[in-house]
Chain A
Amino acid sequence: MKKFGKALYIGLIFLFLYLPIFTLVFLSFNDSKTPSSTWRGFTLKWFREIFSREEWIEALINTLVIGLLAAGIATVIGVAASVGIMAISRRQRIVILQLTNIPMVNAEIVTAISLVLGFALFGISLSMGTILFAHICFCLPYVILNVMPKLRQTGNVAYEAARDLGAGPFKAFFSVVLPDIMPGVVTGFLMSFTMSVDDFVITYFTRPVGINTLSTLIYSQQKVGLRTSMCALSTLIFLLVLLVLLVRMFLTGRTAADKSTNGGV
């Protein structure tokens, strides 16, 4: 009985979490112009419709370009920042790490509005660049969050060994330290990418008129009325994020397996 209760409980949780998503995915294949619960037959035409309309393709490209660029730039800055943070004294390090954590827990709307105010203050007009800048800003803490523990685990000793064997500071970093912290760097990049693709609030405020990412496009479309093609689009976003998640799981799973085989030493 107790076992059954447990199963029921966890079943309900997953139902609440995943039923809406499955409904969405299911409906995006429904041959009906608006998302309705009556099944009118299987079709792929809503997916075709997305790729046949220019604004949708443009939004998709924007999303991917901003996601990749923001994640890439945030990763470079974040790794450099982590190396720097490791080198400073313990007390300063704790303060700086706390400061980098605040943007993560800060309400997105606050971040969004303060960024817009910031752009206005410096007389910067909104463009693709402002969206990208905003995305780099909120991605950065995630990179640091993932890279720091790896760096701490690696410690200074491999770097010193490389220097001892004749490597200059950069050679030592790229040949010895970076490969060692790579799992953290990759996770940081992927996390940043998903955060960027996912983002609506900050993008909505920092974008100029006429430039859309997938999330802002869906939002503007649903004001006119929900269409099945938007379900198809949401399904695509879901699949994209799922794919990134799986890659990340695969990568961290592999390093975890490495660790366990090394455990005997």
Chain B
Amino acid sequence: MANILELQKVSKSFDNELVLDELDLEIRENTFMTLLGPSGCGKTTTLRIIGGFIRPDSGVVLFEGRDITNLPPNKRHLNTVFQKYALFPHMNVSENIAYGLKISGKSRDYIQDKINYALKLVNMDGYGKRDVTQLSGGQQQRIAIARAIVNEPKVLLLDEPLGALDLKLRQDMQYELIRLKNELGITFVYVTHDQEEALTMSDTVVVMNQGYIQQMGTPESIYNEPENAFVATFIGDSNIIDGVMLKDRLVRICGVNFPCVDEGFGTNRPVDVVIRPEDVVLDEPGRGQMDGVVTHLIFQGVHYEMEVMAGGFEWLVQSTVMQPVGREVSLRVDPANIQIMNKPESEDEEAIVLDV
């Protein structure tokens, strides 16, 4: 697979504040790529640079190997689905969808066919004559998607398109978007701050913070093998514990030696250890690797969330089995579920974590 889009050393600042710092990004053809990060991390700026709405201060944007850095948005073969839909209120549904096709001078029959096709694709058959201002948020978003894809872009940019929808609708639309992506066979570049959305839909997730890419990979690798504390805390809940890597495959946490699967950190090296709360198994006292006492308990629907004081650390634990506050328990972690990370190298990186 070739790269359809490439950003090389792209920097951008607003009012002397650096938003993107020499960002490099390669987007492969026919992938669903998500830029994920907290607000202000530079993800929307990146998308707007790709769309042509912002010109980078320096750096190059390549589309199919061609430099498009200075091309205006109307000259780019990509379309955007905007956060607030951005439908044209004085046009009906059909006219909105036809807008791009009319500009490119398509025939009336072609446009009509395309409108029907697009409405079917987004499950809005028969809505052509409707006033866009009388549609619900979810329906407006579908029309916005239809309006973008009739132009047959090679890349569809989506800027938090589900942000304004309620939870249930958002989940439905996530499946819908995956289906659309597979049916159209084009590249999706999706921006969101919602980690669940990113994990559900993407082939590739790019975690961004403070203008830098923190980690890039499949949803599984991002979740299971976070490379730094920012990624670990931003994606899901985690226990991040100080530890010492005694040797390959053995880490000391809170005075207890835990077998793990990581290698190559040397001997007696201080590290950060990430353990997901659902990977901590609770058992009868004495049966696990470390004894402790339950200090908090919350019911969260799918599971119970408990805090367990053990070895001087408050462990976050998620389990479908409830243990009441005050009960003595023992915890155990499967070696494969222990993720070792290097300690942050500078104060700067530390500050990134504290910001969250």
Contacts and interface: CB of A to CB of B under 8 A. Distances in A.
A241 to B, nearest CB: 30
A165 B151 contact: yes
A165 B82 contact: no
A10 interface: no
A179 interface: yes
A157 B74 contact: no
A166 B74 contact: yes
Given A160-B82, A166-B74, A265 B134 contact: yes
B133 A165 contact: no
Nearest to B104: A166
B147 A165 contact: yes
Contacts of A222: none
Interface string A169-209: 10110011001100000000000000000000000000000
B134 A164 contact: no
A11 interface: no
Contacts of A137: none
Interface string B132-171: 0111110010000001100100000000000000000000
Interface string A84-126: 0000000000000000000000000000000000000000000
Contacts of B87: 161
B72 A265 contact: no
Contacts of A179: 88, 90
Nearest to B53: A160
B233 to A, nearest CB: 32
B209 interface: no
Interface string B59-94: 000000000000011100001101010111110000
Interface in B18-53: 51-53
B223 interface: no
Given A163-B72, A166-B100, A171-B103, A265 B140 contact: yes
A165 B103 contact: yes
Contact of A163 (B73, B90, B104, B148): B73
A129 interface: no
A180 B103 contact: no
Contact of B74 (A168, A176, A264): A168
A265 B133 contact: yes
B133 A262 contact: yes
Nearest to A156: B53
Contacts of B89: 158, 180, 262
Secondary structure dominating the interface of A? helix
Interface residues of B, number: 28
B99 interface: yes
Given A160-B82, A162-B99, A265-B134, A167 B90 contact: no
A265 B135 contact: yes
Contact of B88 (A158, A163, A261, A265): A158
B55 to A, nearest CB: 13
Nearest to A154: B89
A166 B86 contact: no
A265 B51 contact: no
B275 to A, nearest CB: 43
Nearest to B136: A265
A157 B48 CA distance: 12
B84 A176 contact: no
B86 A167 contact: no
A164 B151 CA distance: 10
A164 B140 contact: no
A167 B52 CA distance: 13
Contacts of A167: 74, 99, 103
B183 to A, nearest CB: 21
A163 B99 CA distance: 11
A175 B87 CA distance: 13
Nearest to A89: B15
B226 to A, nearest CB: 35
Given A165-B74, A167-B99, 11 more contacts: A157-B86, A164-B80, A165-B151, A171-B103, A176-B88, A180-B88, A261-B133, A261-B134, A265-B133, A265-B137, A265-B140
Interface of A: 157-158, 160-169, 171-172, 175-176, 179-180, 258, 261-262, 264-265
